[in-house]
Structure 1
């Protein structure tokens, strides 16, 4: 096989996985990243002396591509599995969640509603054929499955506080995949098992970076690509601040809404496909506390005084000296709330956590920080599979993909690795 020089745009898990596979197969990938660090949404930060992800991540036992990558990098011994707990904050009460016993004991649902909700979750976990769900609208599908009572208590606020005006414009296949992934990460009917890496995501990211560079690949940080250059129907290279650089092929893994700006010479019909895609933004607050909020890793919330869908107490998965809590505020990027000052979100989080655990005091909050990501998650509407632009663009040697392309699976490290490696094989062929 002839060695090719291939540009990879974006150093998130998908871009790194593509570059890793290209280097493994004897090619010369060069990864361009606008940020000053690798990782994208999995990148870590210095949080008052603690190296930790800006956005929360966890791993399921079904994350095969992620576990295979760890094995290839010699990092499998850094993986830890923990029996975690879920909870539900409803009507001012913290309740257990996530098991049949918790569902039966839940205060706020009638017995028929509980049975119907449990049966629907069981059928989702067992189901494999998702394509008939692609054209169905999610909230209507859920209402038919769990009934109006369970939908109002368990689902309506979760949708509205993440998708706002897009709440009734989502594919049932997308929410089905969320239910199934968590449901299948159990070692029995009553115990949930999730995983974390010793050292966090930087353990994986550093391992992938080292493997790419050891095989002759390059990773250039703080180096945004300004334009992908096209000539006579094929890729010529990329334009950087310092000039143009030739490449045999180019693979973009940056969010699809950026593609039209990066590749202005695409046909207008392709630009229209990209411009029709919508994304949810996130403001994610991370808090470092002296006391725990609860013993739950994942806590769904349904409270009229809280505009969040849930709380993730990460230190209940990965043991740490202090207690680490992530509180995400999801919303469409065009929503006025996204322009609020960070302090608005920090103040809300402090108030919400103290409401859930009244024993928390101001002095228990060691540090807090907010991070923002404009294109955090694709909005997958009914029929999304047909409208998604193919990764291979109508230009020789050019591909563009992001987390949308492994729909209906939700964005995740394992899914990005699997797709990135498969994409690299197609690119190199």
Structure 2
């Protein structure tokens, strides 16, 4: 085997998985990360003395690539499991959710709608073939199964308040995998089972970084790549901080919308495909409280007074000294709301949490932090698979992928690890 000199762009889970596998296979690997820490959307920050992830993550019972990497890094003792609960806040009332009994007791739907919803959720967890759903609209698919009444109560606000003008043009295959992943992460039909790493995802990601370096690779932080250089149909290196660096292969794991500027010499057909991919942004608030909001880890919301589809009470999964709640606002970046100041989001979220739990007062709010991420979520339209450029592009030695390529799976640490290893094998064998 000839040793290849490989540059990996991005030190999120996928980039680190690529680099780790290549280093393990004996190649010369350098990872370039623009941020001052590894992780991407899984990176942690210091929230007034608490190291916590900028955006919430959790582990499901079927996240096997995640488990394998945790084991390889010798971190099995850090993996913890919790019986979590789900709730549904609907028109001013809080209801238990997430199991057959709570569905049957939910007073806002007729019996037929409840049965159709339950059958759809159950069969979705048993389905294995997604290809027939690839070209189908998610709204069409869901309405066909559960009817308009249940869709309007249980799904419509979730779609509208996350995807806005894209809400009626999402792939059913992509939505199905989200239903299946959560539905199959249970102790039994009545109890949900979710996991976390003690110390957060950074424990795993830093272990991967250390392992890459112990195998002879490099991970360079605060190092933004300005350009990928191409010469006569082959990649030949990078421009970083005014310097030209030679590499045999380049693997980019940065968000796809950056690719046209990062690799301006791409063939026009591939360049235009990257330009057509759509993403939505997120403004994610992390709230530190003296008391909990509800007993639920995940709370879906359908209430006309609130422009959020739900909240995640992370301390219901990972017990912490203070109560931690994530409130994500997903939206197209071109939406006027995305340009609103942090104070606007903070004021709204404080009022919303006090609506959900009237016992909360201003004194219960210890701190609120706001994170923003421009390219947070790919918009997976029907037929999305055909819209993606190939990972190994027409330029020899160049490989490009981001979370869009997990399709039909959703973005997540486990999928990042799986796909990263897949790319590493491509690079090592071609």
TM-score (norm 1): 0.99
* Structure 2 CA distance for aligned equivalents of residues 107 and 77 of structure 1: 43
**Cα distance, 1:16 vs structure 2:** 0.5
Partner of residue 181, structure 2:
181
Partner of residue 125, structure 1:
125
**Cα distance, 1:116 vs structure 2:** 0.7
Secondary structure class of the residue paired with 1:188: coil
Partner of residue 329, structure 1:
329
Listed one character per residue, the Cα deviations across residues 353-406 of structure 1 (whole Å, up to 9, x for unaligned) are 000000001110000011001110100001101111111110110000001111
Partner of residue 353, structure 1:
353
* Structure 1 CA distance for aligned equivalents of residues 256 and 91 of structure 2: 40
Give 5+ residue unaligned stretches, structure 2. Answer: none
Is 2:369 the counterpart of 1:369?
A: yes
Partner of residue 169, structure 1:
169
Listed one character per residue, the Cα deviations across residues 163-209 of structure 1 (whole Å, up to 9, x for unaligned) are 00001111110110110000000121111100010111111111101
Partner of residue 114, structure 1:
114
RMSD: 0.6
Listed one character per residue, the Cα deviations across residues 197-240 of structure 1 (whole Å, up to 9, x for unaligned) are 01111111111011000001101111000000011111110001
Secondary structure class of the residue paired with 2:222: coil
Partner of residue 94, structure 1:
94
* Structure 2 CA distance for aligned equivalents of residues 261 and 11 of structure 1: 19
* Structure 1 CA distance for aligned equivalents of residues 107 and 44 of structure 2: 39
**Cα distance, 1:143 vs structure 2:** 0.6
Partner of residue 418, structure 1:
418
**Cα distance, 1:242 vs structure 2:** 3.5
Partner of residue 42, structure 1:
42
Is 2:381 the counterpart of 1:384?
A: no
Is 2:189 the counterpart of 1:215?
A: no
Secondary structure class of the residue paired with 1:59: coil
Partner of residue 155, structure 1:
155
**Cα distance, 1:107 vs structure 2:** 2.2
Secondary structure class of the residue paired with 2:329: strand
**Cα distance, 1:91 vs structure 2:** 1.5
Partner of residue 135, structure 1:
135
Is 2:68 the counterpart of 1:68?
A: yes
* Structure 2 CA distance for aligned equivalents of residues 278 and 106 of structure 1: 36
Give 5+ residue unaligned stretches, structure 1. Answer: none
Secondary structure class of the residue paired with 1:107: coil
**Cα distance, 1:292 vs structure 2:** 0.3
Partner of residue 276, structure 1:
276
**Cα distance, 1:101 vs structure 2:** 0.4
Secondary structure class of the residue paired with 2:156: helix
* Structure 2 CA distance for aligned equivalents of residues 393 and 153 of structure 1: 44
